[in-house]
């Protein structure tokens, strides 16, 4: 029978709840250690489970019946709501308690068979008509499903909430009366602003962005968030939007990501203005779950995000599968990475500062993906025109910069330097200046390295691919082995000679009459590649021309000097003849007697047989006088 006294509600005394009635209690229900002293008739008339327990009990119905409910959905608070409904009270459904009440009604089998318009049907009606049609209520209901997830799955509460949220994400919120940013409920279904229920005609200035739902779903637990992403993927939501939601979720619960995501964190966008409690997230579980959710997306920001995840994964010590998946995802888009992102510290007990093994594995993943693309490309035999040549060259430049950064680590082994440099093919580098810079830094930081190890390390560089400045530096680098310096000088001469020959060929072509011709693309590429050496060759040619001009000028000066000397000889000779005593005496009309030597000379000359002999003798004496006068200068 129902209690005869007037219903005045329930009261609590310590750990016991009593119903205010004149009739004594004949059943005690224990839930989570709390005793509820109740009456059988109101409970049996509504709850099929309690009715079956009482019928199957062997105890006397005359005494007080005691039963205990283990793992009751919602605990003692939800059971209090249930018994109030059984005693004819009014139940107030909210988005926060509907899931618990729904599960508790199912637990107690409160179907319409045990009373018309029973609690199970009431809960189903409120959930279907109110919760599933409202963004805010749907998320609150999803969040409250976590403690009773198994029973909520059985009642399809979780799946229906996930589908509803996914549909609302796919649809423009301005088409419905959902809570909107800034305007809330003051918006008509057509998107106009309402004032006292009257359409003002004013439209919202800007439409909602695609990330309006990121912050709201980030309050879900990892398990529910993972299921929601899978549901959204099945609904056809764009992969970039899913990736954005995952990135937002990770940044919220992995604080370490903020260090490597500069400029990415901003004011969280939320559509529903309601307070939700952030989920208690295990960071390690989050990482291992999120790695499976990430779509196959490429881009600079996404690659930076993956590198941040990898850093956190190495700190937390995730399983090998998760780490390998992150390394593979980064490796296939290594050309989008940045140097600061690759500088991952070594968090283990290793002596090195940076985790070079991780970077080496990512390079191998990149080469594996590039080899597959190259095999499918029709122009795979020509590296310069292959679609993969651009990413390959960018990765080569990135790796050279990375090697230069880690080369300053005194604990880095030469073998690791060589493995990093040789991880990429020879054709990926048109110039080896980056490798030479890294090698020079390494030799500077490791002066104790044996000569043999230095020579082996220098083998990673093709000195024929060094630029002019790099060759000039290498030829004077005291840290390089002598054999390597000689090799650099040899290749420098070969390149200079080839460039000079090419320069002369170009000069001849410029001076020749214009003839229409087509230069092969490979020859043009070689000329452009040796542009630096052509400049040096041109400068050498100019120097040669200047030297020839200098030499001709010196010759002209020598000829002028010879003429000046001859003129001076002539002037000196005329001056000596005029100033002689014989010439003065003749001018005065006097004859001087010749000296003995002169007389003998006259005698010898007078005895000459023929005039020809005397003429030849005169010429010889004249030549001797000329030689004497020349010797004066």
- Whether the pLDDT of residue 33 is over 50: the answer is yes
The confidence score (pLDDT) of residue 388 equals: 55
Question: How far apart, in whole angstroms, are the C-alpha atoms of residue 2 and residue 8?
Answer: 14
pLDDT at 23: 84
**pLDDT attached to residue 583:** 53
Whether the pLDDT of residue 629 is over 90: the answer is no
Question: What's the pLDDT tens digit per position in 281-306?
Answer: 889 999 999 999 988 888 888 999 99
Per-residue confidence (pLDDT) for residue 497, from 0 to 100: 74
Number of Cβ within 10 Å of residue 349's Cβ equals 5
Confidence check: pLDDT of 621 > 70: no
Comparing 272 with 563, which gets the higher pLDDT?
Answer: 563
Find the mean pLDDT for residues 252-274.
Answer: 61
Which of 131, 150, 182 terminates a domain? The answer is: 131
Q: Specify the higher pLDDT residue, 530 or 244.
A: 244
pLDDT per position as a tens digit, 333-347: 999 999 999 999 998
- Record the tokens describing residue 324, joined without a space: 């390998």
364 phi and psi angles, rounded to 5 deg = -65, -40
For residues 393 and 378, the model is more confident at 393
* pLDDT higher than 50, residue 2: no
Which of 109, 131, 153 finishes a domain?
A: 131
SS3 breakdown of the chain: % helix, strand, coil, rounded to 5? 60, 5, 35
Quick one: pLDDT at residue 623? 45
Find out whether 11 and 21 touch, Cβ atoms under 8 Å: no
- Identify the band that residue 370 occupies on the pLDDT scale cut at 50, 70 and 90: confident
CB atoms within 10 A of CB 469: 10
Higher pLDDT, 503 or 570: 570
248 and 267 Cβ atoms separated by less than 8 Å: no
pLDDT per position as a tens digit, 444-490: 999 998 988 888 898 888 888 888 888 888 888 888 888 888 888 88
What is the pLDDT, as a whole number, of residue 182? 36
Is 70 exceeded by the pLDDT of residue 110? yes
Residues of the chain above pLDDT 70, percent? 70
Domain boundary among 90, 107, 131: 131
Q: Which pLDDT band, with edges at 50, 70 and 90, does 374 fall under?
A: low
* Whole-number CA gyration radius for the chain: 51
Using alpha carbons only, give the angle 514, 516, 519 rounded to the nearest 5 degrees: 110
Burial label, 145 (beta-carbon count in 10 A; 0-12, 13-18, 19+) = buried
**Size (the chain), residues:** 633
Q: Which residues contact 337 (CB under 8 A, 6 or more apart)?
A: 303, 304, 307, 330, 398
Give the range of the structural domain holding residue 49, as residue numbers without chain letter: 10-131
Please answer whether residues 406 and 442 qualify as being in contact, where contact means their C-beta atoms are separated by less than 8 angstroms: no
pLDDT at 269: 53
pLDDT band at 588 (very low <50, low <70, confident <90, very high): low
Could you give phi then psi for residue 501, rounded to 5 degrees? -65, -40
- At residue 192, φ and ψ (nearest 5 deg) are -90, 160
Within a domain: 275: no
Q: Supply the DSSP symbol for 130.
A: I
Q: How do residues 36-48 score in pLDDT, each as one tens digit?
A: 999 889 999 999 9
Q: Collapsing DSSP states into helix, strand and coil, what is residue 18?
A: strand
> Is pLDDT above 90 for 616?
no
CA of residue 623 relative to chain centroid, distance:
93
Question: What is the CA 563 to chain-centroid distance, rounded?
Answer: 78
**Nearest one of 114, 98, 105 to 72, comparing CA atoms:** 105
What gap in Å lies between CA 143 and CA 225, rounded to an integer? 10
| Structural contact between residues 51 and 11, judged by C-beta atoms closer than 8 angstroms | no
- Whichever domain contains 102, its CATH number is 3.30.710.10
pLDDT given for residue 476 in this prediction? 86
Q: How confident is the model at residue 127 (pLDDT cuts 50, 70, 90)?
A: very high
pLDDT band at 556 (very low <50, low <70, confident <90, very high): confident
Distances (CA, A) of 153 to 12, 148, 149, 156, 227: 34, 9, 6, 5, 12
Whether 619 maps to a domain, the answer reads: no
pLDDT of residue 468: 82
Q: Is the pLDDT of residue 67 over 80?
A: yes
More confident residue, 503 or 196: 503
In a domain, 420, yes or no: no
Strand partners, 38: 27
- Is 205 among the domain residues? no
Percent of the chain with pLDDT over 90: 40
**How open is the CA angle 44-47-52, to the nearest 5 degrees?**
70
Classify residue 91: in a domain, yes or no.
yes
Provide CB contacts within 8 A for 587, sequence distance 6+: none
Of residues 177 and 174, the one with the higher pLDDT is 174
Helix axis angle for 468-475 and 531-578, nearest 10°, is 70
Is residue 300 within 8 Å of residue 338, measured between CB atoms?
yes
Nearest to 322 by CA among 354, 286, 357, 348: 286
Residue 502's pLDDT band (cuts 50, 70, 90): low
Least confident of 142-146, 178-182, 488-492: 178-182
**Domain tally, the chain:** 2
Mean pLDDT score across all residues of the chain: 77
Q: How far apart are CA 73 and CA 107, in angstroms?
A: 8
Chain centroid, CA 158 distance in Å: 38
Distance of alpha carbon 628 from the chain centroid: 90
Residue 595 maps to a domain? no
Token couple for 409? 């680590």
Place of tokens 């590039």: 370
Residue 14's pLDDT is what?
A: 86
Q: Is 496 among the domain residues?
A: yes
**608 within domain boundaries:** no
Which SS3 state, helix, strand or coil, does residue 458 take?
A: helix
**Residue 128: closest CA among 153, 98, 170, 151:** 98
**Of the segments 15-19, 22-26, 369-373, 404-408, which one has the largest average pLDDT value?**
404-408
Among the listed residues 358, 290, 285, the one whose alpha carbon sits nearest the alpha carbon of residue 328: 358
Q: What's the rounded mean pLDDT across residues 245-274? A: 68
Residue 293 and residue 246 in contact, taking contact as beta carbons nearer than 8 Å: yes
**Dist CA 166 CA 400 (whole Å):** 46
Q: Is residue 614's pLDDT more than 80?
A: no
Write down the pLDDT at residue 470.
Answer: 86
Which has the closest alpha carbon to 248: 302, 296, 284, 206? 302
Task: Determine the pLDDT at residue 3.
Answer: 41
pLDDT surpasses 90 at 354: yes
The DSSP bridge partners found for residue 345 are: 354
DSSP-derived 3-state class of residue 11 = strand
Choose the most confident range, by mean pLDDT, from 53-62, 169-178, 409-418.
Answer: 409-418
Q: What span, in angstroms and rounded, lies between the C-alpha atoms of 135 and 171? A: 12
Average pLDDT over every residue of 120-148:
94
Structure tokens that stand for 204 in this block: 């919202």
Mean pLDDT of 551-573: 81
Tokens coding 237? 């939501």
> Among candidates 130, 132, 101, 131, which has minimal Cα distance to 118?
101
The DSSP secondary structure of 146-198, one letter per residue, reads: GGGHHHHHHTTHHHHHHHHHHHHHHS-GGGTT---TTTTT-B-TTSEEEETTE
């Amino acid at each position: 029978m129902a209690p005869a006294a007037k219903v005045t509600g329930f009261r609590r005394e310590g750990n016991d709840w009593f119903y205010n009635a004149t009739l004594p209690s004949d059943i005690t229900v224990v839930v989570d250690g709390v005793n509820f002293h109740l009456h059988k008739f109101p409970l049996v008339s509504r709850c099929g489970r309690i009715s079956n327990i009482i019928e199957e009990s062997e105890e006397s119905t005359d005494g007080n019946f005691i039963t205990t409910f283990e793992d009751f959905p919602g605990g003692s608070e939800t059971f209090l709501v249930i018994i109030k409904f059984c005693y004819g009270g009014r139940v107030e459904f909210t988005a926060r308690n509907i899931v618990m009440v729904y599960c508790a009604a199912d637990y107690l089998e409160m179907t319409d068979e045990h009373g018309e318009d029973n609690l199970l049907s009431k809960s189903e009606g409120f959930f279907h008509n109110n919760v599933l049609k409202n963004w805010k209520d749907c998320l609150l209901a999803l969040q409250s499903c976590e403690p009773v997830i198994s029973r909520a799955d059985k009642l399809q509460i979780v799946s229906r909430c996930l589908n509803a949220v996914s549909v609302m994400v796919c649809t423009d919120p301005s088409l419905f009366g959902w809570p909107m940013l800034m305007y809330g409920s003051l918006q008509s279904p057509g998107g106009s602003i309402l004032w006292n229920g009257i359409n003002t005609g004013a439209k919202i200035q800007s439409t909602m962005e695609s990330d309006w739902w990121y912050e709201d779903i980030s309050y879900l637990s990892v398990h529910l968030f993972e299921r929601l992403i899978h549901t959204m993927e099945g609904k056809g939501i764009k992969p970039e939007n899913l990736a954005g939601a995952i990135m937002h979720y990770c940044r919220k619960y992995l604080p370490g990501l903020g260090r490597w995501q500069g400029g990415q964190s901003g004011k969280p966008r939320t559509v529903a203005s309601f307070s939700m409690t952030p989920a208690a997230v295990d960071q390690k579980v989050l990482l291992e779950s999120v790695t499976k959710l990430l779509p196959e997306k490429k881009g600079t920001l996404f690659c930076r995000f993956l590198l941040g995840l990898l850093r956190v994964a190495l700190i937390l010590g995730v399983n090998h599968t998760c780490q390998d998946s992150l390394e593979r995802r980064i490796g296939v888009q290594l050309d989008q990475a940045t140097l600061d992102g690759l500088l991952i510290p070594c968090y283990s007990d290793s002596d090195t500062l940076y985790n070079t093994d991780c970077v080496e594995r990512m390079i191998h993943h990149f080469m594996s993906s590039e080899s597959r693309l190259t095999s499918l490309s029709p122009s795979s035999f020509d590296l310069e025109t292959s679609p993969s040549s651009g990413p390959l060259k960018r990765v080569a430049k990135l790796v050279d910069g990375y090697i230069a950064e880690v080369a300053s680590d005194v604990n880095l082994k030469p073998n690791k330097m060589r493995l990093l440099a040789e991880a990429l093919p020879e054709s990926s580098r048109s110039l080896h200046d980056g490798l030479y810079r890294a090698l020079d830094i390494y030799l500077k930081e490791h002066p104790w390295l044996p000569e043999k190890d230095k020579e082996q390390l220098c083998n990673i560089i093709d000195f024929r691919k060094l630029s002019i400045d790099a060759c000039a530096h290498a030829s004077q680098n005291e840290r390089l082995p002598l054999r390597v310096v000689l090799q650099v000088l040899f290749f420098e001469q070969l390149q200079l000679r080839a460039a000079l020959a090419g320069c002369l060929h170009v000069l001849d072509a410029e001076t020749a009459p214009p003839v229409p011709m087509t230069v092969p693309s490979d020859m043009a590429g070689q000329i452009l590649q040796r542009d630096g050496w052509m400049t040096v060759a041109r400068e050498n040619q100019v120097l040669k021309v200047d030297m020839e001009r200098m030499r001709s000028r010196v010759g002209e000066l020598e000829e002028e000097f010879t003429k000046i000397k001859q003129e001076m000889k002539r002037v000196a000779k005329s001056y000596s003849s005029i100033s002689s005593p014989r010439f003065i005496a003749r001018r005065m009309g006097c004859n001087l007697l010749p000296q003995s030597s002169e007389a003998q000379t006259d005698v010898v000359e007078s005895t000459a047989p023929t005039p020809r002999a005397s003429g030849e003798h005169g010429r010889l004496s004249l030549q001797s006088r000329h030689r004497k006068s020349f010797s004066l200068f």
